[in-house]
Amino acid sequence: MLSIEKKSLNNILNKEAKRVGIITIIKLAQFLNLPISDFVKVYLQELPSEQIGDIEKAKKNNFIVQNFDLPQLHKKKFISSKTDYDLIENRIVKFFGLNSIYDFAKEVVTPAFSRTKRSSSDLMREFWVQSALYQFKLLENPNSYSREQLIDLIPKIRSYTKNVKKGLVTVVKALFSIGVTVIYQESLPNISVRGATFVVDGKPCIVINDLYKRYPTLWFSLMHELHHVLYDFDEIQQVKYHLTGEPDLWLKEEKANNFAREYLFNEKRSKYILPFINESVLVKEYAEKSQVHSSIIYNFYMYDTNRWGKFKNQMPDINLAINSLNVNIWENESVEETTEKLKKEIFNI
Amino acid sequence: MSDNKKSNQKKESEKLLEQEELERMMLISKADEVVGEQLTIDTEGILQTENELKKFALGDIDDPERKYDIYYKGISKLLLKHLPEGKGYKKARDFIYEEKNTYLTRGHRIDEKGIRGADSRMGHIEDADKILELITHWIIKKGSMVDLYSTIRDLNIKLGYGKPSHE
C-alpha cells in the first residue's frame, strides 16, 4: 500500500534505519495522517544523539555563515581560518564575551551612520557596530552628559587640530569628562563607514575610524558626529532598533557635513586662500590665524577640486594622532581587553 | 488634524529650526574667538574649562552685597589649589600674593612694617574680575609661577602701582 519495501519499513519501525529519504517521510506522514512537520518532529526526537549533534552543528555553521563575512574577517586576520567553524565560533564568542554564538547581534542597533556612497557589506558593518556597542557598554562612562557643557566645549576644539600628537586624545578626554564617549575603532574591509553615533544608557557615544587614512578626516568625522549628538540625539535614541538609510537621515548627513566644514574651515576661507594654495608658508600662516592644522586646509582643497594626490605629502602621519587611542581591537582577544586598556590609559577610570 | 493645528505645528518646527541654526552659527563664531588650547584636564581626569574654574572659585553667588568678598576668597581658593605647596615655594608664593593684593587695593603695597593701609573690602569688583580672569587663564595655559607673577607685576607697573619692594 505504501510502496515501501518491507525491509526498509521494518528498519524504520525498529529504529534501525540510518537515513530516511524525503519520499518515504512524505508517504509515512500521509499514511499516519500527520502534517509533515509534526512527523519530522517525532522522527527527530527518536534520532540518536550523534545525528542530532550533526544537525545542531550544521545549524550553528549556517548561523555563522549567515552572520559573518568570513573571507573578510580572515583577510583582516581577525580569524585564523575560514573553514574551521569550531575555531571561528570560539574566537567570536570569546571576543564579544557571549554565552553562545546565537547571542551575537541580539540587539540590533542603527547608528546614525556617516556612510559614503559606495555600497558596503552589511555583515561587516554589523560586526563593526556590535564591537563598538560592546565597547561603550563596557566603558560605562561614569560622567553625566549635559548638552550645555558640550555647547561650551565645542568652540574650544578647533585649535587642538594643530596638535597632531596630543590634540585628538585631549579632546577625547575632555568629551569623556562631560559624558560624551568617543572611541577610535579601526575600519574593516567593505564597511564604508566614517563614523557613527550611538546613545548608550542615555549618553552619546561616538566612533571614529580611519576609512581614508587621513588625519583631517578624523577631525571632520568627529565634528560631524558631534553635530548628530547636538541635533539628532532624541532621534538616535529612538531609532536604535530601526533600519538605517531612511531618506531624512541623508538630509541630516548633509547638515552634519556642512557643520563640520563650516566649523573647521569654511568655504569662504577656502576661497580666500585658493590663489596662495601652493605657497606653503602662506597656507601655514593662514592656518595659524584660523586656529586649524594646515592639512585641513589642503584636505578641503583636494575635496573641492577632486585632486586627491595634490597635497598628499602635506598630510601628517595619522598614526601619530591615533596611536594612543588605537588599541588594535581586531588583534585583541576580547572587547573587554580593549576597554580595560582604554579605561586605564585614556579615560582614567 | 485641523488646518490650524497643522499650521501651528509647522510654525513650531520652523521656529525650532531657526533656533538650531542660530545655535550652530553661535558655535562657529565662538570657535573663531578661541585662540590656542583652552581645555585642561586635572589629575583626576576632570575637564576644567574657564567657566568651571570660576564656578569652583565663586560657587553660586546669590548675595550681591557680598560679591566682592566672594570673589576675593575665590581667587585665594584657586591660588591655593594651583600654586605649588611647600616651604621651598613660600617666597615665590608670597611674591605672587603681594602683586595680587597690590592690584586689588589699587596700588597699596605692603610697607616694611607689614602694613598695607587698605582693606580688601574696599576693593572693586571689576578688579577682582580681572585678577580672576588672569588666574583662570594661567591655570588653563598651565603657566609657571613666574608667568603669573610677571603678568600681574607688569600690570601693576603699567597702572602706576610701582615695582615690588624686593626688586
Running along chain B, 167 residues long, what does each successive block of 10 average in pLDDT?
A: 76 86 93 82 62 71 68 86 88 91 88 76 78 86 85 93 83
Q: Which amino acid type is present at position A266?
A: N
Q: How far is A41 from chain B (nearest CA, A)?
A: 53
First to last CA, chain B: 80
Query: Does residue A244 have a pLDDT over 70?
Result: no
Distance from CA of B22 to the nearest CA of A (A): 12
A44 CA to chain B: closest CA distance, Å?
A: 57
| Contact assignment for A263 to B39 by CB distance below 8 Å | no
**Alpha carbon distance B19, A190 (integer Å):** 38
Give residue A247's pLDDT. Answer: 43
Quote the cell numbers at residue B4.
Answer: 490650524
Measure the CA angle with vertex A289, ends A293 and A195; round to 5°: 30
Contact (CB<8Å) B34/A159: yes
Model confidence at A111: pLDDT above 80: no
- Answer for the pair A186, A175: CB distance below 8 angstroms, yes or no: no
B residues 7..46 contacting A (CB < 8 A)? 20, 23-24, 27-28, 30-39, 41, 44-46
Could you give the C-alpha distances from B107 to A116, B125, B153, B160, B164, in angstroms and in order?
Answer: 63, 15, 11, 8, 11
- A94 alpha-carbon distance from chain centroid: 18
**Looking at the predicted structure, is the pLDDT value of residue A136 above 80?**
yes
| B104 to chain A, closest Cα gap in Å | 29
Cβ separation B47–A178 shorter than 8 A = yes
**Cβ(A95)–Cβ(A335) under 8 Å?**
yes
Nearest to A163 by CA among A3, A320, A2, A340: A320
Give this prediction's pTM: 0.72
Strand A203-208, strand A181-184: pairing = parallel
**Does the CA dihedral A337-A338-A344-A349 come out positive or negative?**
negative
The identity of residue A75, as a single letter, is K
Taking a C-beta distance cutoff of 8 angstroms, is the pair A152, A130 a contact?
Answer: no
Judged by CB atoms closer than 8 Å, whether chains meet at A154 and B47 is answered as: no
Name A107's Cβ contacts closer than 8 Å, sequence gap at least 6. A133
Q: Give residue A183's pLDDT band: very low, low, confident or very high (50, 70, 90).
A: very high
* Inter-chain CB proximity B35 and A159 less than 8 Å: yes
Task: Give A212's pLDDT tier (boundaries 50, 70, 90).
Answer: confident
A61-65, A159-163, A250-254, A340-344 — which is least confidently predicted? A250-254
Say yes or no to pLDDT of A242 above 60: no
pLDDT tens track for A14-37 = 777 777 788 888 888 888 888 888
Cell of A286: 593662514
Q: Which residue of A has its CA nearest to B20?
A: A231
> ipTM of the predicted structure?
0.78
The per-residue pLDDT for A120 is 44
Residue A291 has its nearest CB partner, among B20, B34, B51, at B34
Match 588650547 to its residue by C-alpha cell.
B37
**CA–CA separation, A254 vs A245, rounded Å?**
13
